[in-house]
């Protein structure tokens, strides 16, 4: 029926236009994934030069952040360099430490945020009892996942005990539109810390 309504040359135009739009949209998604991957490669290099986060080494010229820690999710086979400061700009390059929270060993909650469609997409596969590691300044802090929850972004506070590590991303994981008010929260309780 549509064929009868659109002349032959018009059909070609519609098909080419649809293919170009699909390529543009796919290219945009690929650009985000490529940017996230490339940033982690540059951050890993800066991490190695920083002595495991002991020095603030900028990963590229003009960067206003540096690799501050390395997060590991061993069961999922995932690691990511954590940036200092969870600004929107920094989150485009990797998970980032929320400045208002503490670092491990400081007696308060540590919070790391990341995007659900890049570095923290792995959180969808995290389960209670999974190990989590956070390396910083020559120490490896070991955690075990104790809870996962979905909370509204306006929730007054995340219920977590002192020294817990909290990983936060947007939810649902496969939402097409950005800006969801829901957050997926992974709480991990400390195990023991070891040197170097």
Q: On the CB side of 97, how many CA atoms lie within 13 Å of its CA?
A: 24
Q: What is the mean pLDDT of residues 128-142?
A: 95
Find, among 81, 191, 82, the residue nearest to 129 by Cα.
191
| pLDDT of 57 | 85
What domains are defined for the chain? 26-195 (2.40.260.10)
What is the 3-class SS of the chain, one letter each residue?
A: CHHHHCCHHHHHHHHHHHHHHHHHHHHHHHHHHHHHHHHHHHHHHHHHHCCCCCCCCCCCCCCCCCEEEEEEEHHHCEEEEEEECCCHHHHCCCCEECCCCCCCCCCCCEEEECCCCCCCHHHHHCCCCCEEEEEECCEEEEEEEEEEEEEECCCCCCCCCCCCEEEEEEECCCCCCCCCCEEEEEEEEEEEEEEC
| pLDDT of 43 | 85
pLDDT at 117 over 90: no
pLDDT at 2 over 60: no
Q: What is the mean pLDDT of residues 152-177?
A: 84
pLDDT at 109 over 90: yes
Q: What is the pLDDT of residues 50-105, one digit of tens each?
A: 887 778 888 888 888 999 999 999 999 999 999 999 998 888 889 999 999 999 88
| pLDDT of 132 | 98
Q: What is the pLDDT of residues 6-49, one digit of tens each?
A: 555 556 666 666 555 555 555 555 566 676 778 778 888 888 88
For residue 172, say if its preceding peptide bond is cis, omega within 30 degrees of 0.
yes
End-to-end CA, the chain: 70
Asked if residue 87 lies in contact with residue 140, where contact means CB atoms within 8 angstroms, the answer is no
| pLDDT of 25 | 53
The pLDDT confidence band at residue 114, using thresholds 50, 70 and 90, is very high
pLDDT at 170 over 70: yes
Asked if residue 83 lies in contact with residue 138, where contact means CB atoms within 8 angstroms, the answer is no
Q: What is the mean pLDDT of residues 136-162?
A: 87
| pLDDT of 16 | 60
Max alpha carbon distance in the chain (Å)? 74
Sign of CA dihedral 114, 119, 122, 127: negative
| pLDDT of 160 | 74
| pLDDT of 63 | 85
């Amino acid at each position: 029926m549509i064929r009868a309504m659109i002349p032959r040359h018009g059909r070609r135009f519609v098909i080419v236009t649809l293919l170009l739009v699909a390529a543009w949209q796919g290219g945009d998604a690929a650009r985000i994934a490529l940017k996230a991957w490339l940033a982690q490669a540059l951050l890993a290099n800066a991490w190695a030069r920083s002595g495991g986060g002991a020095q603030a080494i900028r990963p590229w010229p003009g960067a206003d952040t540096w690799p501050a820690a390395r997060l590991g999710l061993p069961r999922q086979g995932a690691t990511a360099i954590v940036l200092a400061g969870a600004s929107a700009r920094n989150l485009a390059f990797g998970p980032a430490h929320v400045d208002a929270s503490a670092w491990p060993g400081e007696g308060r909650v540590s919070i790391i945020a990341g995007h659900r469609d890049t570095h923290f997409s792995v959180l969808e596969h995290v389960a209670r009892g999974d190990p989590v590691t956070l390396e910083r300044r020559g120490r490896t802090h070991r955690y075990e996942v104790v809870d996962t929850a979905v909370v509204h972004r306006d929730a007054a506070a995340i219920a977590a005990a002192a020294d817990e590590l909290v990983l936060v991303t947007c939810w649902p994981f496969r939402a097409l539109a950005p800006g969801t008010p829901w957050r997926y929260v992974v709480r991990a309780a400390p195990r023991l810390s070891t040197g170097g």
